[in-house]
Each structure stands twice: as structure tokens, then as C-alpha cells.
A and B are shown apart, each in its own frame.
Chain A
Amino acid sequence: MTTLGTRPHDAPGAVALLPGPEPRTLLDAPHGTAPLDPALLLRLHRWLVRGRRYNQQATALTKQGRLAVYPSTTGQEACQIGAALALEDRDWLFPTYRDTLAVLARGVDPVEVLTLLRGDWHSGYDPLAHRTAPLCTPLATQLPHAVGLARAARLKGDDVVTLAMVGDGATSEGDFHEALNFAAVWKAPVVFLVQNNGYAISVPLAKQTAAPSLAHKAVGYGMPGLLVDGNDVAAVHQTVREAADRARAGHGPTLVEALTYRIDAHTNADDATRYRDDGEVAAWRRRDPLARMERHLRERGLLDDAEAERAAAEAEAMAAALRAALAVDPRPDPTDLFDHVYRRPTAQLRAQRALLERESAAGPDTGETNR
């Protein structure tokens, strides 16, 4: 497992591409040094509260059989929110299956975020409307998409940055390597954000890599690697924003490693007690990103009980609306299955569609072949 503050120091003579020895934090810095303005901090806080509630509600919905599965980001909300809100509307997000809160923070409808996990279709939102790619399950495979889109935008002269998210385990995938290399060679405006939550399902990071940190991998591609405290929403936000600014200015991609922890199991179907102990979880609970943000805001006099209650009430309303929407059984239309395979269904698909329609009309099996 990764523990904050135990990174080996950079080798002497290191170039600027190397990450610093300590992850960047802002919330714990002496008051007044945090570069973020109070309105932004309050906005980040409201989103953290909403995100925490969303994770709880979605997990509860799996227990009621309303969702097939839900990979929670409880404990990782600062990464999700801090990074996604660092983007401009015209930028693009490339999320993994776990990054539901980041997608939510892009303005996607809370129910549409869950379409994949409810199972009535694969992707439930319009990627073009929200400049947000579909939740991507095959690990690291969406990273090269983020690079290609960033390059395409740049070739067109558009000011668009892409944020490509990935887990610590998925940095072992070949697509991670290829995406970073292409991005660096093309100077594509991409920010790669690794959420290092210490585990790939059950496998700890020590079994994924012998690198001093995941951020160190940037050096080999010729891009800067940055290490950030992933439970510090201000630090994540500021770091991703600076990397995006750098990309926007034409200086190419950055790799950001955010150190965080998944408090819940991998998904509702996982039993995390098989591979980690309660002590470890308890230690990370003490670094809870929401509690830390609240402490910071209260100490600076930016958050009072009334504001905290407003944020909680708003999150509760969102959760109630989500419960209500998911209480209705979805009725996906089976004939939709043929409509989006190609621009126009082939003759073979038209025949299969007709068969399915006859089956639906007749009820039991008609015994026809499906060709």
C-alpha cells in the first residue's frame, strides 16, 4: 500500500520532470497560503458533500437490486471533484468506470450517470453534450482516446484540454504507456490523472510497479510528473488546473499522481476484508477528504452550520430524486438492440430484428432460425 510521506527523495541532479519528494497539500498549509478563493472552496465543498451522498445512495440502490453494481469513490471524492471542476466546459473528460462523481460534476444527469450500472444501456448520457466520454471499463483503453481527441482539437485550432483518468493498477496496462508516449511526442494538451488508491481490486501497488512513484513514470516520456495529496480537494484542483493551463499554453501533457484511498470495497460485490485490515482503513478515515475540507473551511471562518446544512439538504434532495427515479423499473426496448450497430442495420440485422419482433408478439419461442 502507498502511504503518504514515505516516498524516496529525488535523485541528485534530477530534472524538473521529476515529481517532488512530498505530495502537494494546500489545506494543511498555514492559513492564507492556499491560492484558491473562498467562493471556489465553497463550491468544491458543496460538490464533495453531494458526491459523498451520491456514493452512499448508489451503494444502497445496489442492495435494493436497483443497480447491478456500483464502484464507490467514498474516500476519493476530492480527486473526482477537484479534478473535474478544474476543466472548462469546452474541455473533455475521459473517465474510468469508477469516475461517476467526476462525470456528475460535468453536469451529467445523476440518473443518466448510472445507466451503465443499472444495465438498461451501456452509456446513458450524451458524450457530445457534456464533453464527457462514456464510462470506460476496459482499463486504460480510454487514455489514447483522450490523446487523439486533444490532438484533433489542436489541429483544428480549438482551445480544448482533455483530462484522462486512470487507476493505479491500470498504469501497468500497455495503453497507459502508449497514451503517455503519444501525448508527449505530439505535445497533446492532456492531463493524465492517476488516482492511486493503493489497490487494483485486491492487488496492492507494490505488486504493480517497482517505480519510486507512479508520477516518476512521466520522466521516461519527457513530461512532468506531479505528486499530489489526493484527499486534499484544493491541492488536486489547483494541480490539475495548473497542468491544464500548461497544456492550453501548448506545453504538452502532464502526469499527476493523486494519493488517495478507497474506503469502500472495490464494488458492492467485493469483500475487502480478504486483502486489507481494518487498521489501514481506519488510518485513512482520519484523512477523510470531506472532513478535512470542512475543518479547513471552518477554521478560516468560511463555513458555518447554516451553510453546511444547506449543502447537506441539497445533497439529500438529489439522493431523494435519485431514489425516486430508480424506483421505476426501466423498460428497455429490445428492438433498440439493432439500431446502433451500424448507421443503417444490415440486411442480416433487419431480419433478426423482425424475428425478435415476432417473438415478442408471439410470446413463446417461434422456433425460427435467427438469420
Chain B
Amino acid sequence: MSPASTATTGARETTLAKALNLALHDALAADDRVHLLGEDIGTLGGVFRVTDGLAAAFGDDRVTDTPLAEAGILGTAVGMAMYGLRPVVEMQFDAFAYPAFEQLAGHVAKMRNRTRGALPMPLTVRVPYGGGIGGVEHHSDASEAYYAHTPGLHVVTPATPADAYGLLRAAIASDDPVVFLEPKRLYWAKDLLDPARPVPPIGTAAVRRPGTSATLVTYGPSVPVCLAAAEAARAEGWDLEVVDLRSLVPFDDETVCASVRRTGRAVVVHEAQGFAGFGAEVAARVTERCFHHLHAPVLRVTGLDIPYPPPLLEQHHLPDPDRILDAVARLQWDTDPAGEAL
């Protein structure tokens, strides 16, 4: 966490899940167009308790346990948005959001475009995503590439309670549809949150740790992993910069490229399988823009190109600090900036 947040009055230690709960609470209180829809989000408060207490506070019409059908949840949310409401939809788990993909790609992403702006889609789709919580099959997918590949959607993923609060408020306030990816394994991670702090605009990355040797470009659940790798790298004499994208779409080329131009080396890190993954987009963008500043090819440290493994094997799939440091070691430290061997 940036030390700045400690300076603000009203900051307190909060889990990421609680920060999301607070954001939903404050959005429901601030705007009666905001409606929550999902499975088990009412009395139970959601399987991750992100909507805990909200049905009691705002009633069943604002916080609705829907029939159990993801396409139906998102499809009816589209109709509600057409009537001027701001639905916030919860998908119970990443891999259970697939039935809603047709509505997402076919309508949520396209409605504004096909109607020339007459029907914007100010809705938010919250998706708990990623692994590392020992989930059995179908509970750990990192599906961000599907969403990021779909024009018309914004795709956002917080890594801190402060960003979780601010970005979710921004997503709900946005006139564009936002896929809001919540890193499951960070739900219980604690940090300081001050809800009064200004909301980070969607589309801006954050430098989590300044450094000079190389840039780790990452997001969501991999942010703490990269910060741990950066700590460990000090022993090797590397001072790594960590950029947290926060927003996959819109993509903050400026912050990423400014960092890579400074350090001259980059590794992209994410949980999702690497092939045709979001890291490929980052690597391509960085290469296209920063080629003459690069001392080495942009490398990727990602999940393996396999269906998400069973929980007892997931540690082999997920990027860890060792794998990240191995990649950093391959960044051609023995070449000069022109790429010639010394």
C-alpha cells in the first residue's frame, strides 16, 4: 500500500471483501438506480459475503436473489439498464459466468454501439476470479482475456482494498459496462482503506513499487506475488519496479511504457494461461512502443497452457516469486543497451 493512504484521516484496516461491501453499500445509498442481482446475494450475503447485510439494509427489490441462471441474470440486467437503472450483477464464480457470455458479448458490449449511443449499458458485472484458494474444478478460472478481447467492455481488477472500493464505485458510476474482476485469493487480504479518498479513474495503472532494474507488469491476484518477488530480488542486486495495471481495458499505455523506458526490461506476470493471454497483448504493446529502450525481449510468466489444475497441483500452475526471478534472470543482463554481447 502506498504510504499516502495512512496520512488521510478516516483510514482503517479493511479486507478487500469488506471494501467491496462498503462500495456496494455506499453506491446503493447514493443512487436509487443501483440494483444488485445475483445468486445467494440476499439473505446469505453472497458465497464470499461481499453483499453481506445489503438486502437487510436496502430490501429485496434493490438486492435481489434471482433464479439460478447466469444468462438470465445478465439478460434481465440489460433490460433494467435500458430503462435507466444501474444494475450490478454478481457472478458466483469465474467459471460459472460463461453462460452469461452470450449476453455480455452480444448485447452488453454492443448495445451502445448498435444504437449509436441511444442505449448505453451502465452496468457492472462482478466476477470473483482466479485461483490460489484450493478450489475444486470450475472454481479458479482466470478468464480476463475473453472479456478484454470484447470491444465495448471495460475490464477492471483491483489488488488492494482501497482500489477495490474506489474502482467499484467508479465502475457503478460509469456509463459504460464494466467487468469487475475480483481476485478471490485477495478477498481476505487486509490493508488501509479510506472511502473518502478520491476514486482512481478507470484506465489508470499504478506503480506499486518503484525500481530501476526491470519492470514487472501485473494485475489482480499477481500483484502481491510480484511485490514478494521484488523483495526477494534485492538479494540478487535487482531493484524491480512493479506496475499494477488495475484496468486491463482501457489500457494505460503511458504508465506502462514510461516505466519500461526507464528500466529497459519487462516481465509480464499473470495467473491465466499464457497462450493468447492478456500478457501477449502487453508484451506486444510494450515491444511496439519501447523497442529502442529494451535491452531484452519482453518475457511472460503466466499460468501453464492447461485447464485449471486440481487444488493439490495448483501451485505448479500459478506464477510464484521463483518463476518470476528466473524470468528476470533471463533478461540479458550481459548485453549493453544496443543489444550487443559485452
Give the B-binding residues of A (Cβ under 8 A): 121-123, 126-128, 133-134, 138, 141-153, 155-156, 162, 174-175, 178-179, 181-182, 185, 336, 339-343, 346-348, 369, 371
Q: In the complex, are the beta carbons of B152 and A341 less than 8 A apart?
A: yes
Given the interface pairs A155-B61, A178-B71, A182-B69, the reply to whether A342 lies near B176 with Cβ below 8 Å is yes
Whole-angstrom CA separation of A97 from B198 in the bound complex: 45
Given the interface pairs A138-B102, A151-B79, the reply to whether A343 lies near B120 with Cβ below 8 Å is yes
B114: A residues at CB distance < 8 A: 121-123, 134
Whole-angstrom CA separation of A182 from B339 in the bound complex: 62
Whole-angstrom CA separation of A369 from B285 in the bound complex: 12
Q: How far is the CB of B104 from chain A (nearest CB, A)?
A: 11
Q: In the complex, are the beta carbons of A145 and B75 less than 8 A apart?
A: yes
14 A–B pairs (Cβ distance < 8 Å), ordered by A: A121-B116, A122-B110, A138-B102, A138-B107, A145-B82, A145-B107, A148-B75, A148-B83, A150-B79, A151-B79, A175-B71, A342-B112, A346-B203, A346-B251
Given the interface pairs A141-B106, A340-B112, A346-B203, the reply to whether A148 lies near B288 with Cβ below 8 Å is no
Q: Which of A133, A143, A181, A341 contacts B82 (CB 8 A)?
A: A133
Whole-angstrom CA separation of A151 from B85 in the bound complex: 11
Q: In the complex, are the beta carbons of B115 and A134 less than 8 A apart?
A: yes
A155: B residues at CB distance < 8 A: 35, 61, 85
Most buried by B among A150, A152, A155, A343: A152
Q: In the complex, are the beta carbons of B71 and A341 less than 8 A apart?
A: no
Q: Which of B79, B113, B118, B288 contacts A149 (CB 8 A)?
A: B79
Q: In the complex, are the beta carbons of B71 and A144 less than 8 A apart?
A: yes
B148-164 to A contact mask, C-beta < 8 Å, 1/0: 00011010000000000
Whole-angstrom CA separation of A133 from B83 in the bound complex: 11
Q: In the complex, are the beta carbons of A145 and B78 less than 8 A apart?
A: yes
Q: How far is the CB of B186 from chain A (nearest CB, A)?
A: 26
B154: A residues at CB distance < 8 A: 342
Q: In the complex, are the beta carbons of B71 and A151 less than 8 A apart?
A: no
Q: In the complex, are the beta carbons of B117 and A339 less than 8 A apart?
A: yes
- 8 Å CB contacts to A: which residues of B77-121? 77-85, 87, 99, 102-103, 106-107, 110-120
**Chain B residue, CB-CB nearest to A146:** B79
Q: How far is the CB of A309 from chain B (nearest CB, A)?
A: 39
Q: In the complex, are the beta carbons of B76 and A144 less than 8 A apart?
A: yes
B69: A residues at CB distance < 8 A: 178, 181-182
B249 interfacial by beta-carbon distance below 8 Å: yes
- 8 Å CB contacts to A: which residues of B130-169? 151-152, 154
Given the interface pairs A138-B102, A182-B69, the reply to whether A347 lies near B76 with Cβ below 8 Å is no
Q: How far is the CB of A263 from chain B (nearest CB, A)?
A: 30
A156: B residues at CB distance < 8 A: 83
Q: In the complex, are the beta carbons of A371 and B288 less than 8 A apart?
A: yes
Q: How far is the CB of A145 from chain B (nearest CB, A)?
A: 4
Whole-angstrom CA separation of A123 from B82 in the bound complex: 15
How many residues on chain B are close to A (CB under 8 Å)? 50
B231 interfacial by beta-carbon distance below 8 Å: no
Total A-B contacts with CB atoms under 8 angstroms apart: 140
**Chain B residue, CB-CB nearest to A188:** B76
Q: In the complex, are the beta carbons of A178 and B151 less than 8 A apart?
A: no
Q: How far is the CB of A220 from chain B (nearest CB, A)?
A: 13
Q: In the complex, are the beta carbons of B82 and A149 less than 8 A apart?
A: yes
Whole-angstrom CA separation of A181 from B99 in the bound complex: 16
B310 interfacial by beta-carbon distance below 8 Å: no
Q: In the complex, are the beta carbons of A147 and B79 less than 8 A apart?
A: yes
Q: Which of B72, B99, B106, B119 contacts A182 (CB 8 A)?
A: B72
Q: In the complex, are the beta carbons of A347 and B250 less than 8 A apart?
A: yes
B314 interfacial by beta-carbon distance below 8 Å: no
Q: In the complex, are the beta carbons of A340 and B61 less than 8 A apart?
A: no
* 10 nearest A-B residue pairs (beta carbon): A148-B79, A144-B75, A178-B72, A148-B76, A122-B114, A152-B83, A149-B79, A145-B79, A346-B250, A152-B80
Q: In the complex, are the beta carbons of B75 and A343 less than 8 A apart?
A: no
Q: How far is the CB of A317 from chain B (nearest CB, A)?
A: 29
**Chain A residue, CB-CB nearest to B87:** A148
Q: In the complex, are the beta carbons of A174 and B76 less than 8 A apart?
A: no
Q: How far is the CB of B37 from chain A (nearest CB, A)?
A: 9
**Chain B residue, CB-CB nearest to A124:** B116
B106: A residues at CB distance < 8 A: 138, 141
Q: In the complex, are the beta carbons of B288 and A181 less than 8 A apart?
A: no
Q: In the complex, are the beta carbons of B113 and A153 less than 8 A apart?
A: no
B191: A residues at CB distance < 8 A: none
Whole-angstrom CA separation of A156 from B85 in the bound complex: 10
Q: In the complex, are the beta carbons of B250 and A145 less than 8 A apart?
A: no
B163-190 to A contact mask, C-beta < 8 Å, 1/0: 0000000000011100000000000000
Q: How far is the CB of B46 from chain A (nearest CB, A)?
A: 20
B210: A residues at CB distance < 8 A: none
Q: In the complex, are the beta carbons of B115 and A127 less than 8 A apart?
A: yes
Q: Which of B77, B80, B118, B152 contacts A126 (CB 8 A)?
A: B118
Whole-angstrom CA separation of A106 from B270 in the bound complex: 50
Q: In the complex, are the beta carbons of B77 and A343 less than 8 A apart?
A: no
Q: How far is the CB of A141 from chain B (nearest CB, A)?
A: 6
B307 interfacial by beta-carbon distance below 8 Å: no
Whole-angstrom CA separation of A141 from B174 in the bound complex: 24
Q: How far is the CB of B38 from chain A (nearest CB, A)?
A: 13
Q: How far is the CB of A150 from chain B (nearest CB, A)?
A: 7
Q: How far is the CB of A161 from chain B (nearest CB, A)?
A: 13
B87: A residues at CB distance < 8 A: 148
A339: B residues at CB distance < 8 A: 116-117
Whole-angstrom CA separation of A349 from B328 in the bound complex: 33
Given the interface pairs A150-B79, A182-B67, A371-B288, the reply to whether A144 lies near B103 with Cβ below 8 Å is yes
Q: In the complex, are the beta carbons of B80 and A149 less than 8 A apart?
A: yes
Whole-angstrom CA separation of A133 from B152 in the bound complex: 19
Q: In the complex, are the beta carbons of A341 and B113 less than 8 A apart?
A: yes
Beyond contacts A144-B71, A181-B69: 5 other A-B pairs, Cβ-Cβ < 8 A, are A152-B79, A152-B85, A155-B35, A346-B203, A348-B250
B251: A residues at CB distance < 8 A: 346, 348
Whole-angstrom CA separation of A162 from B83 in the bound complex: 12
Q: Which of A122, A144, A148, A175 contacts B113 (CB 8 A)?
A: A122
Given the interface pairs A155-B61, A178-B71, A339-B117, the reply to whether A144 lies near B102 with Cβ below 8 Å is no
